């Protein structure tokens, strides 16, 4: 039996946890801009977006947010930028980690004592940028590792470090600074935070016990990347995932002891979900291998059929109204768009069902056809909810639209996998669309519908992705590459069409083309990965 071993220390540090709790307790999210990434976690980001926080990327920190309340993340900001925000009339909700404040204070103290400051860290990291923005440019330097150290030609050098730098890198840099600046008086202020040390030491211990480690955290998380590299430095197989659905069953073949750790911006709920999925994958894989069955992914088509059946038997509780719930402004922005999307959600799926039947007749999994039909029924439930909403608002139901005709025509001309990829493209774009629709309305009826469809669409993407991967599993590498290029082009065309047809909804939600493009690209790149 496979054993899952957790690192002794992992996940949220107290600084990130406090910032996360502050966001959860915020009473005016619609008036609040989060100044940078609160945590590097897509589940948390989606939840914050649904609460209607304005989320600013790290690159957006150069501008002044429009909203009156600005939440400073645990990474902190410079005093210069803090003063700029306050002088612009912004109310600050400051959740800077106390240990990051300590680095700022140490840097300022060294400057006051006439030291040249060397900051060991990643120069593009927001924490580092916040520190050096308050220092004279000619009296500080940032080094990522010992290879970047120089002779600074100054009699007094003060060394500090980004809070998440490994001790080993800090020591190497200190040694090199002393070597190249032997004439200088050197002062080292240890600003590496204790939670970072605990997590890094815990990974060292974990790697002595296991043959493989799963590292959970955001792709942009600096400390998560360092945990991954630390595992690899022990010659232990390691994989970085953001969520449970990125786990691949083939990773665990031959491993009886699997380690689990996570970066400081990873919530407990995400870690628990990954562990639960790990246990399910390894236990199911073991049972199925004993029966000499082929395991294609974590959920079988029978699992999906059961899920869709159960999901349809638990519809959302929608507060239907006898009178319209949209304001005139909202109607102008969303009605035509909803009419088009409602048409796209409907349909019997006869062509894809025929293609699926042909595949099962040739030896494919018979449960897939059952799961597919239940999936199509769920899509029609979405169409029915939107139709009822349009009727509530006194609006017409479309029977034809050019973009819907294009999507259906492509599916009708294609085989099973291409039909699935067309559906997958639509599901990915729908995720971003329904999030924008949710953010652009105050109608309780429409918001409930959007929230349920968003939940369903996440499952739909995984279902389509699983089957697409099964169908491509025996392709040559060259064929996979060619098909993926064609599919990417198709996705980009579809994305443009959706933007053209539904721009009013995205704009009403405060989403410009770049934000829409980036969100859809991230979801597409994740979904097209062949497992």
Are 119 and 161 a contacting pair, CB within 8 Å?
yes
Question: Can you give the three-state secondary structure of 226-256, one letter per residue?
Answer: HHHHHHHHCCCEEEEECCHHHCCHHHHCCCC
**Angstrom distance (rounded) from CA 47 to CA 364:** 38
Is 125 annotated as ligand-binding?
Answer: yes
Q: Which residues of 385-398 are buried (b: 16+ CB within 10 A; e: fewer)?
A: bbbebbebbebeeb
**DSSP symbol at 140:** E
Task: Please state the separation of Cα 369 from the chain's center in Å.
Answer: 31
Q: Which residues contact 202 (CB under 8 A, 6 or more apart)?
A: 7, 8, 9, 10, 261
Are 321 and 445 a contacting pair, CB within 8 Å?
yes
Residue 438 burial by CB count (10 A; 0-12/13-18/19+): exposed, middle or buried? buried
Token pair 């050096």 in the structure block, residue: 132
Is 75 annotated as ligand-binding?
Answer: yes
Token pair 């002393």 in the structure block, residue: 178
**Angstrom distance (rounded) from CA 438 to CA 422:** 24
**Angstrom distance (rounded) from CA 72 to CA 97:** 10
**DSSP symbol at 63:** S
Closest Cα to residue 17, out of 379, 231, 271?
A: 271
**Angstrom distance (rounded) from CA 309 to CA 240:** 33
Is 42 annotated as ligand-binding?
Answer: no
Q: Is 366 a catalytic residue?
A: no
Is 450 annotated as ligand-binding?
Answer: no
Is 207 annotated as ligand-binding?
Answer: no
| CA distances in angstroms from 257 to 214, 241, 337, listed in the order given | 11, 18, 51
Q: Which helix (H) or strand (E) holds 407?
A: helix 402-413
Residue 12 burial by CB count (10 A; 0-12/13-18/19+): exposed, middle or buried? buried
Closest Cα to residue 98, out of 188, 163, 9, 39?
A: 163
Instruction: Check 37, 49, 127, 345 and give the catalytic one.
Output: 127
Is 221 annotated as ligand-binding?
Answer: yes
DSSP states of 321-380 as a string?
-SS--S-HHHHHHHHHHHHHHHHHH----HHHHHHHHHHHHTT--HHHHHHHHHHHHHHH
**Angstrom distance (rounded) from CA 308 to CA 383:** 16
Q: Which two tokens stand for residue 458?
A: 């996440």
The helix/strand/coil state of 292 is: coil
Q: Which two tokens stand for residue 327?
A: 């304001």
**Angstrom distance (rounded) from CA 263 to CA 196:** 9
Compute the residue count for the chain: 531
The annotated binding site is made up of 13, 40, 75, 97, 125, 163, 193, 221, 223, 265
The annotated binding site for [4Fe-4S] cluster is made up of 13, 97, 193
The annotated binding site for isopentenyl diphosphate is made up of 40, 75, 125, 221, 223, 265
The annotated binding site for dimethylallyl diphosphate is made up of 40, 75, 125, 221, 223, 265
Positions marked active-site: 127
């Amino acid at each position: 039996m496979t054993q899952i071993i957790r690192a002794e220390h992992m996940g949220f540090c107290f600084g990130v946890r406090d910032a996360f709790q502050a966001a959860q307790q915020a009473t005016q999210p619609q008036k609040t801009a989060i100044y940078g990434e609160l945590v590097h976690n897509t589940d948390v980001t989606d939840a914050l977006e649904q609460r209607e926080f304005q989320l600013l990327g790290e690159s957006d920190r150069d501008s002044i947010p429009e909203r009156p309340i600005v939440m400073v993340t645990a990474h902190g900001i410079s005093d210069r930028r803090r003063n700029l925000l306050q002088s612009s009339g912004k109310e600050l909700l400051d959740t800077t980690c106390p240990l990051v404040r300590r680095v700022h204070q140490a840097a300022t103290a060294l400057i006051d004592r006439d030291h040249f400051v060397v900051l060991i860290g990643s120069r593009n990291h927001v924490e580092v940028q916040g520190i050096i923005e308050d220092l004279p440019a000619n009296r500080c330097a940032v080094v990522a590792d010992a290879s970047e150290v120089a002779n600074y030609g100054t009699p007094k050098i003060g060394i500090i470090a980004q809070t998440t730098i490994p001790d080993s890198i800090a020591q190497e840099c200190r040694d090199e600074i002393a070597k190249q600046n032997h004439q200088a008086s050197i002062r080292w202020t240890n600003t590496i935070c204790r939670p970072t040390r605990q997590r890094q030491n815990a990974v060292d211990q974990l790697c002595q016990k296991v043959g493989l480690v799963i590292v959970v955290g955001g792709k942009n998380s600096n400390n998560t990347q360092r945990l991954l590299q630390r595992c690899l430095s022990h010659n232990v197989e390691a994989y970085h995932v953001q969520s449970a659905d990125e786990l691949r069953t083939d990773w665990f073949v031959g491993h009886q002891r699997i380690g689990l750790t996570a970066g400081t911006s990873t919530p407990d709920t995400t870690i628990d979900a990954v562990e639960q999925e790990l246990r399910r994958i390894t236990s199911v894989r073991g049972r199925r291998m004993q029966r000499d069955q082929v395991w294609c992914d974590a959920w079988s088509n029978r699992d999906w059929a059961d899920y869709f059946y159960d999901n349809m038997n638990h519809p959302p509780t929608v507060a239907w109204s006898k009178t319209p719930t949209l304001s005139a402004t909202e109607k102008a922005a969303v009605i035509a768009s909803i009419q088009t999307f409602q048409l796209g959600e409907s349909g019997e799926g006869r062509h894809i069902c025929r293609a699926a039947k042909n595949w099962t007749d040739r030896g494919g999994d018979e449960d897939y056809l059952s799961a597919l039909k239940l999936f199509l029924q769920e899509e029609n439930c979405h169409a029915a909810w939107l139709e009822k909403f349009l009727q509530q608002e006194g609006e017409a139901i479309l029977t034809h639209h050019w973009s819907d005709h294009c999507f259906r025509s492509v599916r009708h001309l294609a085989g099973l996998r291409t039909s699935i990829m067309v559906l997958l493209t639509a599901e990915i774009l729908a995720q971003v669309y329904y999030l924008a629709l949710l953010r652009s309305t105050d109608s309780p009826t429409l918001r409930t519908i959007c929230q349920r469809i968003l939940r369903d669409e996440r499952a739909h993407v995984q279902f389509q992705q699983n089957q697409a991967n099964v169908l491509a599993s025996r392709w040559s590498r060259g064929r996979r590459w060619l098909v993926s290029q064609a599919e990417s082009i198709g996705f980009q065309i579809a994305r443009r069409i959706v933007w053209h047809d539904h721009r009013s909804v995205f704009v009403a939600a405060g989403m410009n083309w770049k934000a829409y493009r980036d969100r859809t690209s991230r979801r597409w790149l994740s979904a097209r990965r062949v497992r």
